[in-house]
Amino acid sequence: MSDIKEIYIKEPFKDQKPGTSGLRKSTIEFQQDNYLEIFIESILRTLDFNQNNSLIIGGDGRYGNEEAIIKIIQICIAHKVKKIIIPVNGILSTPAASNLIRKKNAFAGIILSASHNPGGINGDFGVKVNIANGGPAPEKFTDKVFKCSQMLTNYKFYDAKIPDFNKVGFFQIKDTTVEVIDGVDDYVDLMEHIFDLDQIADFLKKDFSIVFDAMNAVTGPYAKRIFIEKMGLSKDCVLNGLPLKDFGNLHPDPNLTYANQLADLLLNKQSYCFGAACDGDGDRNMILGKGCFINPSDSLAILTANTKFVPGYKDGISGVARSMPTSMAVDSVAKKINIPCYETPTGWKFFGNLLDSNMITICGEESFGTGSDHIREKDGLWAVLFWLQILACRKCSVSELIHNHWNHFGRNYYTRHDYEAIPKDVATQIYQNLENLLPQLKNNKFANSLVLNADNFTYTDPVDNSISKNQGLRIILENNSRIILRLSGTGTKGSTLRIYFEKYSQTNENLNLNPQVALCELIKSLDDLLNISKLTKMDQPTVIT
């Protein structure tokens, strides 16, 4: 009897539509019989792997990670995938996966993660597909996967045990070779090529204390290798460094609300000179200084303005890109150093074409993501090392660096208000109310300024001319202020409404206000217009960044 089995199901799953970053659902939904299998079968039917290249599989170690890897290997064997590369114990950060796809010339990667969403049986699970350039699959690919999943009623798999993958080695099953590698080595090697780790280590050892919070998620082993083994820092510089299936009940989203242990150490107790955290799969980062929080949009601007201090970028950068809701702080830097600056929709996949055609070197998003052409994903630890390299070269504090930056370029006051997991109909109503009001707002006064433009953002990719519509509602004011409203594409419960407020202040203005104060007029005017607090029945947003 054949050990390749075919399983039939009565009806396809109707909800397997990938969002901003792959298919993300509750763990319970993923555990329905055949749910993961049908989605993986759809991916394999869509991918073109009639070549000798490998497939990379790994995940952030959350509940269900190993079981999912075993199932994916079984399906791959049935599809005669020639070679699969997996990390020991299946633990691989998203940036490390992107690097491996590129380095090993793989035809794709399957990354198991729900990113910054909580894990565990009551948390979330996710599947992301990255293509041969190492980046998230573009919409035209995920649309095909979705279409396929809507019709699929069967899948095939290898119905026998898969050997353990808890140590480096190889195993061969039928036509498929599975290579188990150290998931940290190649990534650390890449970081050593970009940064001068010795210079950073010397600086840190001279009384510049740091703490890194891995939030019990995937970056623990990477951070320990870099900071403790390579740089020789003390063991306690890495907090929550062991990847746990439920992230020790932490919500691994590196912001001031969920990384509150770190925020307390830096902002209240002021126990360290520098603090940073990464999310579940290691692509997001938060940067803190003593008594000082760095807004991710400012972080992108700082990195862009200081590339000359990093060996990997010493020859200059070709351009920069930010997602539309990200503040325009980086635009001012690009203008001053005379490089192009592109505005893309939310989602890292939109940077792919720009990076592949060398139109940009650095890119970033307000959602705590920054990265460069070294891979095709945002990269949390890369951003941390970039900051440390700048500080090591400029020999200053985080607070001095950001204040000097504002004094030179002006400050884009910025805040994001998240209303998480609110009823879908409430979120849709607020969104539609604003959408309907946009034509009336244009060319009229709002928050004491003239509205220059009010629209729903449409993006035309400058490389392949593909058009992406409905990428967020925006109100653009004459006084260099903006309000953006969009619905999150990564939440799994109800709907999450994100509202972004921005106002530019020139170097001769007061640059030391609390952003909530600097932006209060915009915040209040929008609430008056849309009745957000009344409709959501919330006095304040769930998360304020």
Q: In angstroms, what is the minimal distance from the CB of 419 to ligand G16?
A: 12
Answer yes or no whether residue 488 interacts with ligand G16 by CB under 6 A. Answer: yes
Q: Between residue 364 and residue 423, which ones bind ligand G16 under the rule CB under 6 A?
A: 365, 367, 369
Q: In angstroms, what is the minimal distance from the CB of 306 to ligand G16?
A: 23
Q: Which is nearer to ligand G16, 149 or 488 (CB)?
A: 488
Q: Catalytic residue at 505?
A: no
String of contacts with ligand G16 for each residue 119-158, x by CB under 6 A:
----------------------------------------
Which residue of 27, 490, 495, 536 would you call a contact of ligand G16, by CB under 6 A?
A: 490
Q: Which of 93, 89, 58 is nearest to 384 (CA)?
A: 93
Q: Which is nearer to ligand G16, 391 or 422 (CB)?
A: 422
DSSP assignment letter at 311: G
Residue type, 344: T
Q: For strand 176-181 and strand 83-87, is the pairing parallel, antiparallel, or unpaired?
A: parallel
Give whole-number Cα distances, 355 to 137, 147, 374, in Å: 14, 28, 9
Answer yes or no whether residue 492 interacts with ligand G16 by CB under 6 A. Answer: no
String of contacts with ligand G16 for each residue 331-360, x by CB under 6 A:
---------------xxx------------
Q: In angstroms, what is the minimal distance from the CB of 34 to ligand G16?
A: 25
Q: What share of the chain is helix, strand, coil (3-state, %, to 5)?
A: 35, 25, 35
Give the side-chain half-sphere CA count within 13 A for 3: 10
Task: Provide the token pair at 221.
Answer: 């082993």
Which residue of 42, 65, 89, 115 would you call a contact of ligand G16, by CB under 6 A?
A: 115
Q: In angstroms, what is the minimal distance from the CB of 417 to ligand G16?
A: 12
Give whole-number Cα distances, 39 to 24, 64, 90, 172, in Å: 12, 15, 19, 25
Q: Which of 107, 75, 100, 71 is nearest to 86 (CA)?
A: 100
Q: In angstroms, what is the minimal distance from the CB of 350 to ligand G16?
A: 8
Q: Which residue in 115, 449, 488, 495 is the catalytic one? A: 115
Q: With CB under 6 A as the contact rule, which of the stretches 62-70, 152-160, 269-277, 488-496 interacts with ligand G16?
A: 488-496
Q: Which is nearer to ligand G16, 66 or 283 (CB)?
A: 283
Phi-psi region of 473 (alpha: psi -120 to 50; beta: other; left: phi over 0): beta
Q: Between residue 230 and residue 289, which ones bind ligand G16 under the rule CB under 6 A?
A: 283-284
Sort 506 into a burial class: Cβ within 10 Å, 0-12 / 13-18 / 19+. Answer: exposed
Q: At what angle do helices 398-409 and 329-337 cross, to 10 degrees?
A: 70
Enumerate the active-site residues: 115
Contacting residues toward ligand G16, per CB under 6 A: 20-21, 115-116, 283-284, 346-348, 365, 367, 369, 488-490, 498
